[in-house]
């Protein structure tokens, strides 16, 4: 039974609504409706467990690297040492982006959101590598390599371009995450910072059929190219109910200002039915396991580079929410602590979601491949609620003299 449901003009609907021909009940937001089979990611939202291809997320984030995890997600098994070396070398070789893409990005408005810049530049890759040979394993491998390699370069490039600077070229002697931080901050990062970012990328790489991954699979099901698949997913991730929440969390913590105000803020938000950003998840009824690990990463960074006073506000909010939202199964999600980590890494706030996208490309591409393996185009149905049998009338006869 849906929790709540509104019709096309926003009126509350009570009880179950069924499709008149199929008899299938309407589930707003497709909540709980399986629309595919997948062997990529498993979530136990009651126990707070998450595994990629059968490996618990805590093990991967402690021991793996982002590129190894990417390989695992996309090809199903951990790579051999040689496979990993080859994959890393290919990704390293394709990090640069064409001067044409950079020139195109220079025409983007500096005030534009980096997620919009990323969506446009990701889509533009399809112009350069447009051969849709999606049943050729070599094309698939190359497309994976290009997207994993170039997305971070494009995110870092826009950060500098919007300030009127030329983007920094990738450095071949730096590993994936260290190179991204270098291109972004213009400084070679501390090894701890680079490792923490790599672990963040592992944590965000995949999460079953969330909105952006669903978007990726729908786009993939039309057999279009993988650049269009990723561009559509980036657009979906940008929304504040999805990846965009990590930006809003920091703004919210700053609005609360100090730990003593956390309880009042929460009461006011609940009373006015405002969502507390970084809390709640369609799948989890406990604290998101990624939030648990991210909180630990934040603490590692604070111990080394100095604390962030918003961390105390975050902890106070989490504590206050335990009794007010906890009974409804609403706890911190992945976005709650990630902003604090990214800020400590020197990443500007409006790049938090693009960093999420850099990582989630791995999951989107895993789902792209899986979708192609057993494809059927997505075409759900709807329950029509509009008017019937209207007759067209000329425009000058449409309104009565009363203006009704
Ligand atoms: N703060 C306060 N109340 C909440 C919150 C929240 N963050 N999340 C859910 N609720 C309440 C709702 O008000 C609703 O209450 P009601 O039944 O009394 O009306 C109930 O919980 C169910 O909420 P829905 O929005 O229907 O739950 P849904 O599963 O559709 O939403 C979502 C999940 C979108 C993540 C939601 O929890 C939310 O908006 N959270 C804030 C935004 C956020 O942090 N998004 C990031 C999610 S993680 C990610 O996408 C990477």
> Are 104 and 218 part of one and the same domain?
yes
Residues ≥6 apart with Cβ < 8 Å to 314: 249, 253, 336, 337, 340
Q: Tell me: the pLDDT tens digits for 231-277?
A: 999 999 999 888 888 889 999 999 999 999 999 999 999 999 999 99
From 329, 283, 379, 384, select the one nearest 26 (Cα to Cα).
384
> Are 156 and 293 part of one and the same domain?
no
> Are 266 and 362 part of one and the same domain?
no
How are beta strands 55-56 and 41-44 bridged, if at all? Answer: unpaired
Q: Tell me: the pLDDT tens digits for 287-305?
A: 999 999 999 999 999 999 9
Domain containing residue 210 = 41-235+349-374
Ligand 1, atom 29, lies closest to the CA of: 282
Q: Tell me: the pLDDT tens digits for 153-198?
A: 999 999 999 999 999 999 999 999 999 999 999 999 999 999 999 9
Helix (H, G, I), strand (E, B) or coil at 34: coil
For residue 5, the model assigns a pLDDT of 54
Q: How far apart are CA 358 and CA 147, in angstroms?
A: 9
**How far is the centre of ligand 1, averaged over its atoms, from the C-alpha of 279 (Å)?**
7
Residue 211 CA, closest ligand 1 atom number:
50
Domain tally for the chain? 2
Q: How far apart are CA 219 and CA 228, in angstroms?
A: 7
Residue 31 lies in a domain: no
Label residue 402 by pLDDT band (50, 70, 90).
Answer: low
> Are 94 and 229 part of one and the same domain?
yes
**How far is the centre of ligand 1, averaged over its atoms, from the C-alpha of 330 (Å)?**
8
For residue 244, the model assigns a pLDDT of 84
CATH number for the domain harbouring residue 131 = 1.10.580.10
Tokens of 368: 């792209």
Residues ≥6 apart with Cβ < 8 Å to 336: 249, 278, 279, 288, 291, 294, 314, 318
Q: Does ligand 1 have an atom closer than 6 angstroms to the CB of 277?
A: yes
For residue 1, the model assigns a pLDDT of 41
> Are 118 and 84 part of one and the same domain?
yes
> Are 219 and 297 part of one and the same domain?
no
Q: Does ligand 1 have an atom closer than 6 angstroms to the CB of 280?
A: yes
**How far is the centre of ligand 1, averaged over its atoms, from the C-alpha of 232 (Å)?**
23
Q: Does ligand 1 have an atom closer than 6 angstroms to the CB of 294?
A: no
How does the average pLDDT of the chain come out, rounded?
Answer: 94
CATH number for the domain harbouring residue 284 = 1.10.230.10
Ligand 1, atom 31, lies closest to the CA of: 282
**How far is the centre of ligand 1, averaged over its atoms, from the C-alpha of 178 (Å)?**
34
Residue 197 lies in a domain: yes
Q: How far apart are CA 276 and CA 265, in angstroms?
A: 9
Ligand 1, atom 44, lies closest to the CA of: 278
Residue 270 CA, closest ligand 1 atom number:
2
> Are 84 and 194 part of one and the same domain?
yes
How far CA 4 is from CA of 7, 13, 42, 61, in Å, comes to 10, 7, 27, 37
> Are 52 and 190 part of one and the same domain?
yes
Q: Does ligand 1 have an atom closer than 6 angstroms to the CB of 329?
A: no
Do 213 and 361 touch, CB atoms closer than 8 A?
no
């Amino acid at each position: 039974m849906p929790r709540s449901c509104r019709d096309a003009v926003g009126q509350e609907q009570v009880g179950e609504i069924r499709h008149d021909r199929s008899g299938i009940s309407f589930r707003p937001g497709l909540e709980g409706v399986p629309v595919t089979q997948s062997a990529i990611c498993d979530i136990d939202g009651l126990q707070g467990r998450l595994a990629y291809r059968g490996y618990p997320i805590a093990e991967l984030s402690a021991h793996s690297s982002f590129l190894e995890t990417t390989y695992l997600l996309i090809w199903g098994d951990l790579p051999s040492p040689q496979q990993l070396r080859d994959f890393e070398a290919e990704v390293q070789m394709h990090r640069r982006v064409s001067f044409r893409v950079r020139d195109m990005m220079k025409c983007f408005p500096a005030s534009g959101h980096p997620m919009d810049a990323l969506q446009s530049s990701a889509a533009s890759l399809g112009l350069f590598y447009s051969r849709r040979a999606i049943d050729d394993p070599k094309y698939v491998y190359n497309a994976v390599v290009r997207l994993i390699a170039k997305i971070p370069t494009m995110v870092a490039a826009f950060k500098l371009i919007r300030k009127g600077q030329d983007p920094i070229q990738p450095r071949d002697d730096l590993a994936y995450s260290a190179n991204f931080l270098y291109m972004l901050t213009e400084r070679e990062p501390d090894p701890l910072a680079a490792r923490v970012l790599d672990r963040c990328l592992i944590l965000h790489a995949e999460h079953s059929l969330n909105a952006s991954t669903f978007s990726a699979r729908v786009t993939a099901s039309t057999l279009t190219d993988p650049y269009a698949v990723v561009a559509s997913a980036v657009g979906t991730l940008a929304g504040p109910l999805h990846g965009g929440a990590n930006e809003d969390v920091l703004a919210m913590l700053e609005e609360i200002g100090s730990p003593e105000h956390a309880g009042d803020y929460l009461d006011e938000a609940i009373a006015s039915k405002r969502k507390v950003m970084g809390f709640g998840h369609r799948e989890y009824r406990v604290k998101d396991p990624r939030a648990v690990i991210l909180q630990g990463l934040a603490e590692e960074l604070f111990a080394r580079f100095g604390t962030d006073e918003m961390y105390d506000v975050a902890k106070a909010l989490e504590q206050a929410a335990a009794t007010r939202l906890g009974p409804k199964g609403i706890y911190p999600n992945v976005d709650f602590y990630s902003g604090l980590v990214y800020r400590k890494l020197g990443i500007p706030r409006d790049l938090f979601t693009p960093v999420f996208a850099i990582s989630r490309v791995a999951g989107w591409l895993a789902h792209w491949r899986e979708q192609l393996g057993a494809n059927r185009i997505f075409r759900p149905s709807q329950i029509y609620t509009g008017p019937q049998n209207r007759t067209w009338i000329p425009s000058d006869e449409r309104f009565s003299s009363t203006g009704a």
